[in-house]
């Protein structure tokens, strides 16, 4: 496995790379811009989200990567390095060789293919580098944007899981999507694209 600082995944539109200390303020600004949308579905996001929370989260990413418990990526624009959002493989199950895939894009840059591009790159990393057999995307039934991303990237909708998510003390049913390596192969996405 490559060290976190060496990993860069790109499709020449977006670049995924591990978070850096210099991302703390940029991450904070992207979250603050997006609180109205993110706080509906992301348990960590709330109206009072602070710079300290941003610092703690960004600084904890290297350790999570080193311990192989989560692979978090900053999504940046290939042209100007603007922080577009975040994407991660988490809840890694090394026995069953599966992980969850999560993503978010700052509100001003949604509906431009950023999330699906980033998610596809992260999924290919999961299959090629982590040797995963399965990647799951779990989206609240009301989170239509996240579901559209999963569908756009070719994930298979497997069904509804009752009372699967808890966000700010509210319980939600969720749609389960999955990807397996042949799903990406059929889309012509190869390791060379990342």
90: in domain? yes
194: in domain? no
CATH number for the domain spanning 95: value is: 3.40.630.30
Average pLDDT (36-62) is: 95
126: in domain? yes
Domain count, the chain: 1
Give the domain range for residue 112: 4-189
Q: Identify the burial level of 117 via C-beta atoms within 10 angstroms of its C-beta, where 0-12 means exposed, 13-18 middle and 19 or more buried.
A: buried
37: in domain? yes
- pTM value > 0.85: yes
Average pLDDT (186-190) is: 55
pLDDT at site 2: 54
160: in domain? yes
Sorted by sequence, the CB contacts under 8 Å of residue 62 that are 6+ apart come out as 4, 18, 19
Q: What is the pLDDT of residues 70-112, one digit of tens each?
A: 999 999 998 888 999 999 999 999 999 999 999 999 998 888 8
46: in domain? yes
Strand bridging mode 170-179 / 156-167: antiparallel
């Amino acid at each position: 496995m490559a060290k976190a600082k060496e990993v860069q995944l790109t499709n020449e539109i977006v670049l995924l790379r591990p978070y850096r200390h210099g991302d703390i303020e940029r991450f904070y600004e992207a979250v603050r811009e997006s609180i109205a949308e993110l706080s509906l579905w992301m348990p960590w996001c709330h109206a009072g989200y602070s710079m300290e929370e941003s610092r703690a989260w960004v600084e904890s990413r290297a350790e999570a990567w080193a311990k192989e418990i989560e692979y978090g990526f900053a999504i940046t624009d290939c042209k100007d390095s603007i922080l577009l959002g975040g994407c991660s493989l988490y809840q890694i199950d090394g026995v069953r060789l599966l992980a969850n895939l999560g993503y978010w894009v700052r509100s001003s840059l949604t509906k431009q293919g950023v999330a699906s591009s980033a998610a596809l790159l992260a999924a290919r990393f999961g299959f090629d580098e982590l040797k995963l057999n399965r990647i799951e995307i779990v989206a609240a039934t009301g989170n239509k944007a996240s579901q559209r991303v999963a569908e756009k990237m070719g994930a298979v909708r497997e069904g509804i899981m009752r009372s699967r998510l808890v966000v700010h003390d509210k319980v939600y049913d969720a749609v389960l999507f999955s990807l397996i390596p042949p799903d990406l192969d059929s889309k012509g996405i190869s390791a060379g694209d990342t």
